[in-house]
Each structure stands twice: as C-alpha cells, then as structure tokens.
Homo-oligomer: A and B are copies of this chain.
C-alpha cells in the first residue's frame, strides 16, 4: 500500500506523519521551527524531519512515495511558492517550498496553506467526512478557515480564500471605534474573537490577573465577570460570522476547530447560539460540530494532496477519494 508524508509547517513547530491511502497515520513526529534562521534553515529542518519519517517507515516496510506540505502563509499551490506570509517565520514569503523540499527529499511534493490543509483533513476523514461541502473555521491565535466542496478546497484567485477572520463584526467595536486587526484593517472578527483578542478585551475591561487566554477562560468558568464578558463577546462574534457565512455558502456542515472550539461549553454554547440567530429559515437544520482530528488534520489534508501525485495501485483508489 502506498504511503506519503504529510507536514504541518507552522511558526512554532513542524509536525509530520506517514499517511496511507485511507488517511491512517502510521508515524507522527515533530520538531521546533527554526523560525528566526531564515527560509533555508526551515526547509532543512523540514527535510530532516521527512528523512526521519521515511527511515522509520522503511523499518516497518512502508515505502514513502510523496510529500504533502501544509504551510503557514499564502501558498500558491500550483507553483508551490509562498506568495506572502506574516513574520512568524523570517523571510518566508518567496520561498520555493515544493522545489526546495523535493530537491532535499527526492520526493514528488505539493504544498498548500496550513488552514486549507486542516480543512481538507477534516473534510476527508474528520467531522466533515461524507459531507458534500464543509465550512471549516479555526479559532485560535488567529481566526481562519476553508471551504471544501466535493473534496476540493477553495483556494481563490490569489490563493487567499478562507480568511473568515477578516470580515466586519459589529462586536469588534469599542464605543463606536473599530478595534485594530492583525491584518492592518479594523473592526474584523479576528480583532474580537481570536484568543489574544479575548485576552486583550479582558484586560481592557479591567481584568488583570490572567497570564493568557487559557487563564481568562478558567476565570470565566469560575464566574469572573470581566473574563465572562470577554469570552462571551468573542464567542458571539465567531458565531455571528459563522451564521452569516452559512447564509452565503450554505455548507452541508460547519466544522469548528482550534483551541477555543475545544475550550469548553461556555465558549461553544455562546458561539452556537449566536450562529443560530443569524441563520435563514432553510438552514435551521445546519449542523455546527467540533473538529475531530485535532492537530493531525493538517498533516492528513496535506498528505491527501500528495496521494493525488502518485500512482495508486488498483483497489486502493476508492479509499483515496
């Protein structure tokens, strides 16, 4: 049975796994991203992780035939180049991702954006499996997403599709002034609904005793009113965005992942209530469900694209839809 390596390449760590045509994960390893050492160092670290996985797979008689990369940044999946990126990885924009890793590993390689890979993974094997279309929303340090229709992720004209955190939110205003957003704009969903935004709102409201968003969440669960207000407003902004986008995309299911989605019912219920308030009548039966694959979603989604690169023997095709 053919195998490929899937990589999830982010600003903090590079995670990888050996994936079979059914999406099964045989091995799973990660290394820190040398994010401040430049693109070549990051490619070297990724290639080294791939070599480890290929070698460990070989010890189990598994032959790795391709490499799929889900990477931070806007990725041109046709050319395999990083079109643009934040400074999470120094000088990442312009990196020839697939060429660089194909040269280093000898494996046919393909690359997409990491959130797109995440959406593909959930669509293939997770909470969106068997759904004709899914809207995936990732709620964490950023607010991102992806729309997958019949197994194919929407990448967009400039490979930028899925930036669900960058639409206007009525809740991203303080006293009529739009909150600044990480994108340079203002008043966007991410400016009130991301983890750091919830922490910042907690502090603006007068809360001081929480080191990070997790701590704010714990305080909210314990009944602290500033923490509760911050978590509920962030969750409501997320839900309002999800409901509104559902009216536009009418997905078969909405899958919500990321740290906030798994934080607990306080966030989830507030998000879900706000989403349902937005929905048009025909959408009232829409399922909004938590992601299932956790951090392996992007590995598997990236691997799925690599499987499409290689020849799969008769009998295995059906599984690799």
Minimum distance in angstroms from A251 CB to a CB of chain B: 6
In chain A, positions 119-166 with a C-beta closer than 8 Å to chain B are 132-133, 145, 147, 149, 154-164, 166
Cβ-defined contact, B277 with A158, below 8 A: no
Classify the interface of chain A: helix, strand, loop or mixed.
loop
Cβ-defined contact, B168 with A250, below 8 A: no
B-side contacts of A83, CB under 8 Å: 282
Give Cα A74 to B280, complex, Å. Answer: 11
Cβ-defined contact, B283 with A158, below 8 A: yes
Minimum distance in angstroms from A106 CB to a CB of chain B: 32
Cβ-defined contact, B244 with A167, below 8 A: yes
What is the size category of the interface that chain A forms with chain B? 35 or more
B-side contacts of A158, CB under 8 Å: 250, 282-283, 285
In chain A, positions 79-118 with a C-beta closer than 8 Å to chain B are 83-84
Cβ-defined contact, A74 with B282, below 8 A: yes
**In the complex, residue of chain B having the shortest beta-carbon distance to the beta carbon of A83:** B282
Known interface pairs A170-B169, A170-B173; A160-B280 also in contact (CB < 8 Å): yes
User: How does the 8 Å CB contact mask read for A152-195 relative to B, with 1 for contact and 0 for none?
Assistant: 00111111111110111110110000100001110110000000
Cβ-defined contact, A162 with B277, below 8 A: no
Cβ-defined contact, B168 with A241, below 8 A: yes
This protein's copies in its complex? 2
Pick the contact of A244: B160, B168, B184, B281 (CB < 8 A).
Answer: B168
Cβ-defined contact, A164 with B248, below 8 A: yes
A263 at the interface (CB under 8 A from B): no
Give Cα A244 to B181, complex, Å. Answer: 13
Known interface pairs A155-B250, A168-B169, A170-B178; A282-B160 also in contact (CB < 8 Å): yes
B-side contacts of A173, CB under 8 Å: 170
Cβ-defined contact, A167 with B247, below 8 A: yes
B-side contacts of A178, CB under 8 Å: 170
User: How does the 8 Å CB contact mask read for A229-254 relative to B, with 1 for contact and 0 for none?
Assistant: 00000000000110011011111100
Cβ-defined contact, B281 with A156, below 8 A: no
> Can you spell out 6 A-B residue pairs with CB atoms less than 8 angstroms apart?
A133-B156, A156-B250, A158-B250, A167-B245, A169-B170, A185-B277
Extra 17 A-B pairs, beta carbons < 8 Å, given A157-B250, A168-B168, A188-B278? A83-B282, A147-B248, A159-B250, A160-B283, A161-B248, A161-B249, A161-B250, A162-B250, A164-B248, A166-B280, A167-B247, A168-B278, A169-B170, A170-B173, A183-B281, A185-B277, A185-B278
